[in-house]
Amino acid sequence: MVTKRRRDLTVMQQLARGPIDIPFLMLVVILTAIGVVAVFSASYPTAMNEGLNPANYFIKQAGFGTVGLVAMCLIAKINYQTFRGLSIFVLAVSILLLVLVLPFGYGRSTVGAQRWISLPIIGGFQPSEIAKVGVIMYFAARLSKRNTEKHKRLPSRHPLSGIYAWLDEKGVLEPIPYFLILGLVAVLMLMEPHMSGTILVLVGGASVLFAAGIKLYWFIGGGALAAAGLWVIMTKTSYMATRLAIWKDPWNDGMNGRDKGFQIIQSLYAIGSGGLLGVGFGKSRQKFLYLPESENDYIFSIWCEEMGFVGAAVVIILFILLVIRGYWIAVHARDRFGALLVVGITTLTAVQVFLNIAVVTNLIPSTGISLPFFSYGGTALMIQLAEMGMVLSVSRQIPAPKQE
């Protein structure tokens, strides 16, 4: 028995030492490098206005990016089966932090939402960032066993045994625990309020459920219910109703758009000013305190102004290639857990990119969502790179093609 266990352990170690997916790795590195450079250009007017070193944000982001890339490479060397055991711990910690951010967090006075919390060493960060990956990890770990675990059944003499068995056969009961978890996390985020984080968690969890083979009617009904709930929140709460009104006509907000519609107007000015080739790197005018959050949520607007349509298209194409390669890794993953984990992370990244670009172009109402690898924020960047490390870890165990 001992010899067999040692042999099995050796096999798992050998699997974890397979070749890393170079195309995915290079796309992540390129996007991170471009993002750090974009932060430098977009942030130095803000830093100077705050009395800081003009390169303050750039130095910090470069440091975070370096640490994140190192962490990504280290995580890529870990056997991804380890993440299966850690999933329940990560989910539990994320829920605990979402609860603690309500009484002990901050952000109400600046962005009108209590989204950040401070921890020793780590500093300030959004618990929602951990919740996103926590939900995906836990769902992937549990759903990867759905075809091997025996379904629980009521005793034959129980009065509800017949109904229970029928509901179980039709797939009605299986997703309920996952929906309860999603509902709990979503409610905690909406209490901050954090609409974009709520959407991302729901989409990330739903993507894993869909890939795992949960019945389609659950997504039709659940999607309709979620859409109805989001619509009620957007129209019946002053916080989101204001954002919806601004989205419809930012120029009709107070003093000709100089109040709450000011940010999106300046974003559109920046994008429109870029033209085909842009005004040149570092030569943006909107970043000189015209466009708020120019180094954060609206960094893509500055990039469009400076690099034009061509530069914006290059970044979008790089993101598209990253998503496509991520799904390729998921399709070729060694087992179900690896496939579901990569599907969730890749979908989360794709939706986040879409939502950010949709917001800065006023395609959808403002949600306060950042652009992966670009927006300034150390914790978010490092967590995103850690997620990429998980994808690379899965790629190391892709079975080699059979030789004829």
Q: Which tokens go with 33?
A: 């490098």
Say which range, 87-91, 175-179, 246-250, has the weakest mean pLDDT: 246-250
Q: Which domain holds residue 52?
A: 19-148+163-395
* Three-class secondary structure of residue 378 per DSSP: helix
Range among 111-115, 250-254, 286-290 with highest mean pLDDT value: 286-290
8 A C-beta contact, residue 90 and residue 403: no
Q: Specify whether the CB–CB gap between 197 and 131 falls below 8 A.
A: yes
Residue 12 domain flag: no
Whole-angstrom Cα distance, residue 343 to residue 4?
33
Average pLDDT over residues 286-314: 93
> At 249, is the secondary structure helix, strand, or coil?
coil
Query: Can you state the percent helix, strand and coil of the chain, rounding each to 5?
Result: 70, 0, 30
Return phi, psi of residue 116, to 5°.
-105, 150
Looking at the domain assignment, is residue 5 inside a domain? Answer: no
- pLDDT confidence band for 6 (50 / 70 / 90): very low
pLDDT score, position 145: 85
Q: Is residue 381 part of a domain?
A: yes
Two tokens, residue 316? 């979008």
Can you tell me the mean pLDDT for 309-315? 97
4 in a structural domain: no
Q: Give the residue carrying structure tokens 């790795």.
A: 25
What pLDDT, on a 0 to 100 scale, did the predictor assign at position 196? 82
Do 317 and 34 form a contact (C-beta atoms < 8 A)?
Answer: no
> Is the pLDDT score of 94 beyond 80?
yes
- Which pair of tokens denotes residue 74? 């280290």
Among 44-48, 58-62, 147-151, 285-289, which is the least confidently predicted range? Answer: 147-151
Q: Cα separation of 105 and 85, whole Å?
A: 29
Classify residue 182: in a domain, yes or no: yes
pLDDT at 14 over 60: no
Tell whether the model's pLDDT for residue 254 goes beyond 50.
no
Q: How far is Cα 227 from Cα 230, in angstroms, rounded to an integer?
A: 5
| pLDDT tens digits, 32-75 | 999 999 999 999 999 998 888 999 999 999 999 999 999 999 99
Confidence of residue 15 (pLDDT cuts 50, 70, 90): low
Residue 7 in any domain: the answer is: no
Decide: 130 and 94 in contact? Cβ < 8 Å.
yes
Instruction: Give the containing element (helix H, strand E) for 72.
Output: helix 56-76
Count: domains in the chain? 1
Q: Reduce the DSSP state of residue 365 to 3 states and report it.
A: coil
Q: Name the percent of the chain lying above pLDDT 90.
A: 55
Q: Is residue 402 part of a domain?
A: no
Q: Is residue 101 part of a domain?
A: yes
Whole-number Cα distances in Å, 14 to 11, 17, 69, 396: 5, 5, 23, 10
* Cα distances (Å, whole numbers) of residue 202 to 18, 69, 209, 363: 33, 27, 10, 20
Residue 149's pLDDT band, with cuts at 50, 70 and 90, is low
Residue 124 three-state SS: strand
- What mean pLDDT is predicted for residues 105-112? 72
Q: Does 282 have pLDDT greater than 50?
A: yes
